[in-house]
């Protein structure tokens, strides 16, 4: 508890700005001093080394060099596609033919038949005319938004959208409006007040929200967009391959695929690879190839990753990526957490938050869980408000019920040790 008391007055934002009469690198020294002390900051479990490929039980190396096994509840590769035999074989085949890197941007000499195949597969997956693949997921949102929007346009965001979306909005120079998470009445209020002459309108939302695990109300959003002449962009990073009748995402879940103008997704989550994409009309994709700076000025994705991703989308196209098994594991994880009295908020996806509400207890809990053999993600400011801090869990497809039971037992024991909830469930 001494560690917690020492860290009460230390906040993330304390180290963002240069102090008066301080050298530019002064803040880096201040951070180093804190991290080298015995104060818990929540950084203790960040940057752990993996000793082998990610799977349901993984081996990690602590910063002191100690290795131990953990039940993996902190990987975005929840479909285990990064280790799928067909995916690995596809990557190996591409490596042998094209080498490990492209050596040029996509618009020059960085494209192969494999790259074109992947874009065609993704376009077909979303039933759109074309698709553009970016070498970075973060750069996908930044590139798409800043290319299509400019001064005089207006972008309306859900407050819980990913940081890369907001960064793209800022870079675009467009007017930015924000509505409280999931509040459709507030969104309508914003749309009601838009000047008629401001016709460049884009509503952006995550499909599955990365910190809460809930879904955007795409049926209502697309209806409002139609009524107010707005375009719609959905970042379905955590929905692709999982949400929807055939795993085609949040728009499929709400049956509004034809009403989404920009289908953005990440190849680093369910697909288990790297990069991102935007599936849209032929004209929009053509424009992005010329005006999206994060595409035009970035070296193309390495062929081995593209080769693996082509195999991923073959599996996704036929709904053979293990989605049903993952959903079964996810529902079992949620059920066991609830039975143990833990607060999982309003999760509707493979992302399961465990609400902690106390940042200092969160830091201690996070550190103890890892050492006890359960790896989870920690979420606090600036990703969410401190009073809404949490653990974030992602069940993997290959987890067994026994492993889930063990993980839930350990989490529950640690949560109640710190009296995070008033009473323990029977």
Is residue 347 annotated as part of the catalytic site, yes or no? no
Is residue 397 annotated as part of the catalytic site, yes or no? no
Q: Are strands 201-206 and 154-158 parallel, antiparallel or unpaired?
A: parallel
Cβ atoms of 285 and 253 within 8 Å: the answer is no
> Given 77, 164, 210, 347, which residue is catalytic?
210
Instruction: Give the C-alpha separation, 240 to 25, whole Å.
Output: 41
Instruction: Give the C-alpha separation, 32 to 424, whole Å.
Output: 38
Is residue 53 annotated as part of the catalytic site, yes or no? no
Buried/exposed code over 220-232 (b: 16+ C-beta within 10 A; e: otherwise):
bbbebbeebebbb
> Given 269, 334, 361, 414, which residue is catalytic?
269
> Given 177, 238, 334, 361, which residue is catalytic?
238
Active site positions, annotated? 210, 238, 269
């Amino acid at each position: 508890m001494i560690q917690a008391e020492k860290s009460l007055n230390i906040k993330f934002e304390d180290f963002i700005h240069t102090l008066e009469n301080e050298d530019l690198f002064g803040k880096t020294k201040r951070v180093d001093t804190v991290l080298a002390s015995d104060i818990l900051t929540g950084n203790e479990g960040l940057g752990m080394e993996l000793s082998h490929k990610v799977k349901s039980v993984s081996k990690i190396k602590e910063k002191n060099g100690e290795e131990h096994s953990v039940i993996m509840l902190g990987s975005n590769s929840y479909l285990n596609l990064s280790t799928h035999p067909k995916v690995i074989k596809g990557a190996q085949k591409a490596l042998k033919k094209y080498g490990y890197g492209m050596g040029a941007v996509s618009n020059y000499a960085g494209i192969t038949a494999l790259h074109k195949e992947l874009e065609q597969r993704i376009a077909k997956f979303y039933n759109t005319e074309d698709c553009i693949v970016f070498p970075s997921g973060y750069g996908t949102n930044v590139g798409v938004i800043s290319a299509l929007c400019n001064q005089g346009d207006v972008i309306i965001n859900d407050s819980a959208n990913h940081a890369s979306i907001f960064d793209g909005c800022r870079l675009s120079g467009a007017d930015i409006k924000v509505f409280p998470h999931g509040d459709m009445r507030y969104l309508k209020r914003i749309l009601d007040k838009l000047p008629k002459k401001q016709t460049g309108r884009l509503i952006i939302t995550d499909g599955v929200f990365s910190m809460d695990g809930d879904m955007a109300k795409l049926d209502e959003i697309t209806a409002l967009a139609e009524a107010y002449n707005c375009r719609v962009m959905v970042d379905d990073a955590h929905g692709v391959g999982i949400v929807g009748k055939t795993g085609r995402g949040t728009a499929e879940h709400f049956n509004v695929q034809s009403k989404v103008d920009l289908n953005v997704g990440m190849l680093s989550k369910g697909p288990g690879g790297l990069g991102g994409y935007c599936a849209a009309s032929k004209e929009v994709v053509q424009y992005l190839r010329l005006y999206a700076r994060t595409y035009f000025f970035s070296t193309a994705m390495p062929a081995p990753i593209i080769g693996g991703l082509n195999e991923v989308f073959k599996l996704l196209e036929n709904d053979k990526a293990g989605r049903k098994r993952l959903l079964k594991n996810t529902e079992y994880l949620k059920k066991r957490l609830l039975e143990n009295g833990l607060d999982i908020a309003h999760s509707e996806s493979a992302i399961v938050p465990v609400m902690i509400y106390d940042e200092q207890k969160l830091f201690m809990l996070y550190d103890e869980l890892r050492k006890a053999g359960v790896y989870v993600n920690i979420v606090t400011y600036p990703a969410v408000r401190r009073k809404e801090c949490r653990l974030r869990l992602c069940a993997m497809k290959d987890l067994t019920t026994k492993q889930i039971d063990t993980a839930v037992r350990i989490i529950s024991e640690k949560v109640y040790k710190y009296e995070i909830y008033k009473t323990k469930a029977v």
